[in-house]
């Protein structure tokens, strides 16, 4: 007779249902309570308990029992000289019909929970092939534990082992995620604080330099120009930091207004020309003749376009060409900013939208910046239910796309 046939059809059907429930639960306490209830019911026992292996201390610890008292939670049970220890060490089920006669029996637990244990059926729990704990059924209601009980509890223990390990992993992931969020929050607060603190002294520097520049002799004027250029660069870095704070989670309130994006784009480009002129770059702008009204937060979209345009100017060498275009596509408006600059490796086309990511190695950088511009742009575009992406341009350069819905938000 095969072992599987020891289990009745009724119990097998119940096991299928249990497996389904176990797969649907991810809360560990909830899972453990469910497992001990089913273990007692399937083996017609008075109670059940679960001990899980603590991987660090290599001890078993009580995690759940039918009459669990709070002080029992996490109570350690040594691997040597204990019934549960023998079960997990030998990796085999154990039936003890009269615990009083077994020297490994520790009556403290029974006393702690005011439950008199007479008999135990214990089986090891596995996750795949790895032992993870022990499942015990206590006090068979009538007669002694049978082989059917052993088989039934062993199957339940293995289903439970996988489910418990999965729940543990989910819990670890949750915790890791919370810690990461806290770290992220600390970083955001630091950036917010630092950018605010840097702005005031920088305004003083810029103010005085420009005053001194007006008064300077030809020779000192040239030196002051260097100071001025460096200070302006610094201001743009601080602006990135300020914009970053602008998008910090939960702080976004869209101030939506109907604007004509043709006019908006023209204004942005006009006010950006200076840097491009300094690099002798040409900027072509292709705008449709008719107005394109959209509902956007103008401040935010300006940040997006300025970041794209700023990058195009920055990553395109002296004398290069930049093209800005606007068009409608189905129910969207598309902004594009393309350049014939250094381009982006194809495996980095997605990554450059991640905060602080820069294609260039930090130690060998030629270009200034903090790697925040595109991450900010992405957040702001997504707040408008739009999309942003980049494609490589042939023979060289890159083309950034921003698609925004034409319809007013509902």
Per CB under 6 A, 369 contacts ligand ADP: yes
Per CB under 6 A, 360 contacts ligand ADP: yes
115: its two tokens: 């439950």
In sequence order, the β-bridge partners of residue 131 are 126
Which alpha helices (DSSP H) does 281-369 contain, by range?
298-314
DSSP 165: H
Which is nearest to 305 in space by CA: 277, 325, 329?
325
Length of the chain: 410
**Count of residues interacting with ligand ADP (CB under 6 A):** 22
Nearer to ligand ADP, 151 or 339 (CB): 339
* Binding piece for ligand ADP, criterion CB under 6 A, among 10-18, 209-217, 284-292, 307-315: 307-315
The Cα-based distances of 303 to 239, 299, 375, 389, 408 in angstroms read: 10, 6, 11, 16, 20
- Supply the Cα-derived Rg of the chain in whole angstroms: 34
356-358-363-366 Cα dihedral, nearest 10 degrees: -120
Nearer to ligand ADP, 145 or 315 (CB): 315
Per CB under 6 A, 320 contacts ligand ADP: no
* Binding piece for ligand ADP, criterion CB under 6 A, among 90-98, 178-186, 196-204, 369-377: 369-377
Give the CB-nearest residue to ligand ADP: 369
Q: Scanning residues 223 to 252, which ones bind ligand ADP (CB under 6 A)?
A: none
DSSP 55: T
Nearer to ligand ADP, 51 or 374 (CB): 374
- Could you say which of 307, 324, 326, 384 contacts ligand ADP (CB under 6 A)? 307
Task: Strand 76-77: give its sheet, edge to edge.
Answer: 76-77, 59-65, 45-54, 130-140, 120-127, 94-96
Per CB under 6 A, 342 contacts ligand ADP: yes
DSSP 329: E
Per CB under 6 A, 139 contacts ligand ADP: no
* Binding piece for ligand ADP, criterion CB under 6 A, among 63-71, 154-162, 275-283, 309-317: 309-317
* Binding piece for ligand ADP, criterion CB under 6 A, among 69-77, 135-143, 147-155, 358-366: 358-366
Say if residues 254 and 383 touch (Cβ distance below 8 Å).
yes
Per CB under 6 A, 382 contacts ligand ADP: no
311: its two tokens: 């990058």
Per CB under 6 A, 164 contacts ligand ADP: no
Nearer to ligand ADP, 93 or 369 (CB): 369
3-state secondary structure of 49: strand
387: its two tokens: 């999309």
- Could you say which of 248, 259, 370, 383 contacts ligand ADP (CB under 6 A)? 370
- Could you say which of 297, 339, 340, 379 contacts ligand ADP (CB under 6 A)? 339
One-character DSSP codes across 100-123: GG-TT--HHHHHHTT-----EEEE
Per CB under 6 A, 324 contacts ligand ADP: no
* Binding piece for ligand ADP, criterion CB under 6 A, among 42-50, 95-103, 119-127, 311-319: 311-319
Q: Which residues bind ligand ADP (CB under 6 A)?
A: 307, 311-312, 315, 339, 341-344, 352, 357-360, 369-375, 398
């Amino acid at each position: 007779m095969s072992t599987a046939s020891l289990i009745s059809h009724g119990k097998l059907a119940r096991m299928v249902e249990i497996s389904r429930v176990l797969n649907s639960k991810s809360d560990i306490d909830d899972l453990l309570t469910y497992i001990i209830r089913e273990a007692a019911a399937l083996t017609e026992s008075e109670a059940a308990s679960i001990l899980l292996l603590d991987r660090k201390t290599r001890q078993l610890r009580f995690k759940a029992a039918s009459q669990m008292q709070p002080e029992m939670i996490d109570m350690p049970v040594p691997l040597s000289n204990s019934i549960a220890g023998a079960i997990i060490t030998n990796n085999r089920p154990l039936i003890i019909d009269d615990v009083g006669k077994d020297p490994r029996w520790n009556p403290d637990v029974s006393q702690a929970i005011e439950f008199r244990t007479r008999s135990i059926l214990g089986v090891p729990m596995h996750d795949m092939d790895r032992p993870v704990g022990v499942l015990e059924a206590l006090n068979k209601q009538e007669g002694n534990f049978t082989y059917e009980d052993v088989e039934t509890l062993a199957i339940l223990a293995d289903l439970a082992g996988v489910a418990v390990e999965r729940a543990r992993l989910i819990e670890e992931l949750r915790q890791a995620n919370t810690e990461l969020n806290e770290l992220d929050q600390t970083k955001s607060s630091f950036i917010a604080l630092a950018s605010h603190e840097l702005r005031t002294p920088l305004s003083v520097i810029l103010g005085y330099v420009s005053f001194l520049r007006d008064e300077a002799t030809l020779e000192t004027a040239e030196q002051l120009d260097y100071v001025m250029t460096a200070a302006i660069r610094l201001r743009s870095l601080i602006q990135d930091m300020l914009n970053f704070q602008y998008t910090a989670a939960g702080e976004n309130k869209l101030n939506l207004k109907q604007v004509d994006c043709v006019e908006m784009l023209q204004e942005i480009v006009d006010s950006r020309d200076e840097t491009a002129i300094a690099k002798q770059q040409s900027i072509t702008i292709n705008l449709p003749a008719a107005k394109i009204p959209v509902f956007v937060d103008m401040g935010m979209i300006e940040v997006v376009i300025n970041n794209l345009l700023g990058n195009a100017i920055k990553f395109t060498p002296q004398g290069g060409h930049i093209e800005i275009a606007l068009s409608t596509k189905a129910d969207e408006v598309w902004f594009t900013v393309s350049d014939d600059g250094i381009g982006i490796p194809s495996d980095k086309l997605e990554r450059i939208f991640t905060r602080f990511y820069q294609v260039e190695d930090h130690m060998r950088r030629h270009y200034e910046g903090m790697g925040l511009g595109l991450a900010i742009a992405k957040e702001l575009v997504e707040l408008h239910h739009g999309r942003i992406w980049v494609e490589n341009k042939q023979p060289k350069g890159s083309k950034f796309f921003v698609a925004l819905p034409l319809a007013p938000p509902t």
